[in-house]
Amino acid sequence: MTESIRRSGEYENFENPYQAQSSAPVNPEWPPPPAYQPVPQQPVQQQVQQPVIEPTTVWQTQAAAGGNGHGNGNDGGTALLTAEPAPAKKKRARGPLALLAAVAIVAAAIGGGTAYGIQELTGKDEVVSSSTTTSVVPSSKTGDVASIAAAVSPSVVEVSATLSNGTSTGSGVIITSGGEIVTNNHVISGANSIKVTTSDGKSYTAKVVGTDSKKDLALIKLENASGLKAATLGDSDGVKVGDTVVAIGSPEGLTGTVTSGIVSALNRDVTVSTDESQSQGQGQQGGGDGSWPFQFGGQEFNGDTGSSTTTYKALQTDASLNPGNSGGALIDASGNIIGINSAMYSAATDSSSSSDAGSVGLGFAIPINTVKADLAGLRAGGSDS
């Protein structure tokens, strides 16, 4: 006799789908009923929607329990879809970091000697100008006269003007690599020809571009010159009394002479002659006392200034200036040009008193900001044209 193996009360309420509606005995060849009670199918709308995942999917099959646990072709399997989240991708940092780094590199490449670098890249013959915070010499050498002289001397030249009755010797400052030079008007006024000698001994012929007798300034240009070292023009508005200064020029034809001192006063009213004939007293060979006449403090120095005069504000310095320094450079402790030397007091009243001639610590320079403001007019021919 065949018996159905089951625990008491296990299938009391379960409707056997294999059992006939009649009272026929159970066919022993039929497979045993499942060992669990089927779970009623849930409505579709009640299913909880799972979030969409884009990982690798793994299919697993769970064998249905029943019988002896061996599949015979009728054993079904429940397919389960499990999601294994893929490793999170590292997002590339986006933002201004790369751009800022690039800007910093460009800024570092441009910083320090900017004007000269831009001039060389663009090929334009431009004036090198900066504030007094820019250092032409290394910061560790600020105020060192030897370092300043080595850096700026190549930008200062000797200017020799041939006059109708002699020659006039002065100095000049190179402001562009193509050979533009600023000097005093009284150095080249009335000249038939002009010769310029650079610090390395090369000689050039120069022509007058423009003059401004009211400011005692002139702009000349060397012929067939290139690659010259232009001076850096500073900011004379930032100069203070007591600041260290260096003067470079060609006193008495002694090219490249360097002296030093301090700024002893600001905004001195200096009155100079605008008469063309007065230029012949400056460094003239064969006549005159070699001193440029000017007025200061209501007194005349170094001769009669004549009836036609002009007055400008000047920097006063005790750096030694002598005839021939006119048109040369007055330089600050960082190597920037802050003035164009223009007038100096000499105790000599005539050429026979040579023992008393020379600087007594009273010299004057045209502020470089005055020069920069007048530069466009000089390039256009000046106010005297």
Catalytic residue positions, numbered: 186, 216, 326
Other CB atoms closer than 10 Å to residue 210's CB: what's the count?
Answer: 22
Euclidean distance between CA atoms 365 and 363, whole angstroms: 7
Instruction: Compute the distance between CA of residue 346 and CA of residue 348 in angstroms, rounded to an integer.
Output: 5
Is residue 290 within 8 A of residue 302, CB to CB? The reply is: no
- DSSP H helix total and E strand total for the chain: 5, 16
Distance CA 39, CA 257 (A): 111
Tell me the torsion sign for CA atoms 202, 203, 208, 211.
positive
**334 touches 134 (CB < 8 A):** yes
Kindly report the backbone phi and psi dihedral angles of residue 204, in degrees, each rounded to the nearest multiple of 5, phi listed first: -135, 155
Alpha-carbon distances of 179 from 48, 99, 206, rounded to whole Å: 87, 40, 9
Separation CA 221–CA 124 (nearest Å): 16
Rounded distance between C-alpha atoms, residue 131 and residue 5, angstroms: 107
Instruction: Give the DSSP H or E segment for 119.
Output: helix 114-122
Q: If we measure between CA atoms, which residue out of 368, 343, 344 comes closest to residue 231?
A: 368
Pull the structure tokens for residue 98.
């790369």
CB atoms within 10 A of CB 113: 16
Residue type, 287: G
